[in-house]
């Protein structure tokens, strides 16, 4: 990827969008992401841009965060100017958005509605940690216009949650899902992680059963990734915990897919299952389709018409910029045709619909034909001009993306 715009040696006062970047705004779905960079404690596996109260230091406060995010939303509306797109999805993620008062999240959403045209069927998601929501806070969020909630459950086994440094009991996530439904949320997701050191087949089966006993219409299941610099990575380096085993990860994935499928959930992206099309996360679909979105918050990434940019990472630096009326953008990057083609394959191949073979280079198309022979791509779809993963292909999706884009 090539960094093109030389504008950011000094912080820009405003972000400039070229005419070509603006071109597709009216006809491309547009999403807003709001990053909330706070957590009560840090889970040992997580390297997201999030801070505990101890880690945060001066210059950024949770209490003032909604106001800071609103300041960036106002800049966004000003930058987009007369080309203001209609917002089709809003996703508040983190970190732990529900560490903020429900009134603060409601205020951010109210400002989105004041500044932007919003689709009548807008999807509004918040992520949440199970221990940070109550029936009252969920009711407030629902009344404010949130339609979807994504709760981090990770596992139903107490000893697995302990290795992951999670603070909630196994039952709390399921209870929170019930509370969200009772509050009127249309869509409820639970996140699971598989392959944690010490997790057994029976633990994973119990986690899947627990999720299916909850009132959810969406499940995300991620293989545990050992991120450099995390407590988990240090424990593995010291030999206290084993590295997640690739064969075990593959078995767990197959077990998840079979169990979820039998319960009426279909995969629509390698790590995501939904009960029917209406239950898919439209915000994530917008990312995977490489549509347009504005990411608000420290470290948040944005994409409009081939221009990408990302904000300064630390909440104090971010708040400082906005306080001074400056743009929080750290840097920008203009995607060229090769970058965009690569992203289309990386994102599209992981989807159930796959991607047209015409999205591949000539060498990629030859390799796709080989992949059909190796049982990784569907032969019928291939004959009809598409690259669509088989069940076995899903287990090797990342390696296949590398192979097709080499
Ligand atoms: C921002 S968190 C979700 C909301 C909330 N902070 C929580 O943890 O409950 C997003 C999800 O990313 C996943 N995740 C984060 N780090 C991961 C890692 N190293 N390996 C696998 N999944 C990870 C977890 O499933 C987590 O629920
Ligand atoms: S997994 Fe969620 S709760 Fe845990 S540190 Fe990461 S963002 Fe925070």
Q: Where are the domains of the chain?
A: 19-288, 348-406
Confidence band for 3, pLDDT divided at 50, 70 and 90: very low
What's the CA gap between 73 and 87, in Å, rounded?
A: 12
Residues with CB under 6 A from ligand 1: 45-46, 48, 93-94, 96, 127, 129, 152, 154, 191, 193, 222, 224-225, 227
Q: What share of the chain is helix, strand, coil (3-state, %, to 5)?
A: 45, 20, 35
Tell me what pLDDT residue 325 has. 94
Q: Which atom of ligand 2 is nearest to the CA of 41?
A: 5
Tell me what pLDDT residue 5 has. 40
Distance 88 CA to ligand 1 centre (A): 24
Contact residues for 255 (Cβ-Cβ < 8 A; gap 6+):
201, 204, 205, 208
Q: What are 15-41's pLDDT values in tens digits? A: 888 888 888 888 889 999 999 999 999
Q: Which atom of ligand 1 is nearest to the CA of 152?
A: 9
Tell me what pLDDT residue 83 has. 83
Residues with CB under 6 A from ligand 2: 39, 42-43, 46, 48, 50, 94-96, 129, 152
Asked whether the predicted pLDDT for residue 2 surpasses 80, the reply is no
Distance 226 CA to ligand 2 centre (A): 14
Q: What is the pTM of this model?
A: 0.95
Tell me what pLDDT residue 7 has. 43
Q: What is the DSSP letter of 186?
A: S
Q: What are 99-150's pLDDT values in tens digits? A: 999 999 999 999 999 999 999 999 999 999 999 999 999 999 999 999 999 9
Tell me what pLDDT residue 340 has. 87
User: Half-sphere exposure of 362 toward its Cβ, with a 13 Å CA cutoff?
Assistant: 0
Mean pLDDT of 59-83: 94
What's the CA gap between 263 and 328, in Å, rounded?
A: 45
Tell me what pLDDT residue 13 has. 56
Q: Which residue has the tokens 């999720």?
A: 211
Q: What are phi and psi of 245, to 5 degrees?
A: -90, 130
Q: What are 210-244's pLDDT values in tens digits? A: 999 999 999 999 999 999 999 999 999 999 999 98
Mean pLDDT of 61-89: 95
First to last CA, the chain: 15
Asked whether the predicted pLDDT for residue 399 surpasses 90, the reply is yes
Assigned CATH topology for domain 19-288: TIM Barrel (3.20.20)
Instruction: Give the residue from 75, 78, 89, 92 showing the smallest Cα distance to 118.
Output: 89
Asked whether the predicted pLDDT for residue 208 surpasses 50, the reply is yes
Query: What percentage of the chain reaches a pLDDT higher than 90?
Result: 86
50, 180, 191, 196: residue to mutate for ligand 1 pocket, most atoms within 8 A of CB: 191
Residue nearest atom 26 of ligand 1, based on CA coordinates: 152
């Amino acid at each position: 990827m090539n960094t093109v715009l030389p504008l950011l040696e000094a912080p820009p006062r405003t972000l400039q969008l070229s005419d070509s970047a603006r071109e597709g705004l009216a006809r491309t779905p547009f999403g807003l992401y709001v990053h909330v960079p706070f957590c009560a404690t840090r889970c040992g596996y997580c390297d997201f841009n999030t801070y505990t109260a101890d880690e945060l230091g001066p210059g950024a406060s949770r209490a003032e965060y909604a106001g800071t995010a609103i300041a960036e939303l106002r800049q966004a509306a000003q930058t987009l100017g007369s080309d203001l797109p209609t917002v089709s999805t809003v996703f508040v993620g983190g970190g732990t958005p529900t560490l903020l008062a429900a009134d603060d999240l409601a205020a951010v959403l109210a400002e989105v509605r004041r500044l932007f045209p919003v689709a009548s069927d807008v999807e509004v998601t918040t992520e949440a940690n199970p221990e940070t929501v109550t029936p009252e806070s969920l009711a407030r969020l629902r009344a404010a216009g949130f339609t979807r909630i994504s709760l981090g459950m990770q596992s139903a086994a107490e000893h697995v949650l302990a290795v992951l440094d999670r603070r909630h009991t196994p039952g709390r996530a399921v209870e929170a899902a019930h509370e969200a439904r009772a509050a009127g949320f249309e869509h409820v997701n639970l996140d699971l992680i598989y392959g944690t050191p010490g997790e057994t087949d029976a633990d994973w089966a119990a986690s899947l059963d627990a999720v299916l006993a909850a009132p959810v219409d969406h499940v995300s299941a991620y293989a545990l990734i050992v991120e450099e610099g995390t407590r988990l990575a240090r424990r593995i380096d010291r030999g206290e915990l084993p590295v997640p085993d690739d064969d075990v990860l593959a078995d767990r994935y197959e077990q998840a897919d079979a169990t979820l499928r039998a319960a009426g959930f279909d995969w629509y992206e390698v790590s995501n299952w939904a009960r029917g099309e209406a239950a898919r996360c439209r915000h994530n679909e917008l990312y995977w389709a490489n549509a347009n979105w504005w990411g608000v918050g420290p470290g948040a990434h944005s994409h409009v018409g081939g221009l990408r940019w990302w904000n300064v990472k630390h909440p104090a630096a971010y708040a400082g910029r906005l306080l001074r009326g400056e743009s929080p953008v750290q840097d920008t990057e203009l995607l060229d045709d090769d970058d965009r083609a690569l992203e289309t394959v990386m994102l599209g191949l992981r989807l159930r619909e796959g991607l047209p073979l015409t999205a591949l280079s000539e060498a990629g198309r030859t390799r796709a034909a080989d992949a059909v022979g190796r049982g990784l791509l569907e032969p019928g779809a291939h004959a009809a001009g598409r690259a669509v993963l088989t069940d076995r292909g899903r287990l090797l999706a990342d390696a296949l993306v590398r192979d097709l884009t080499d």
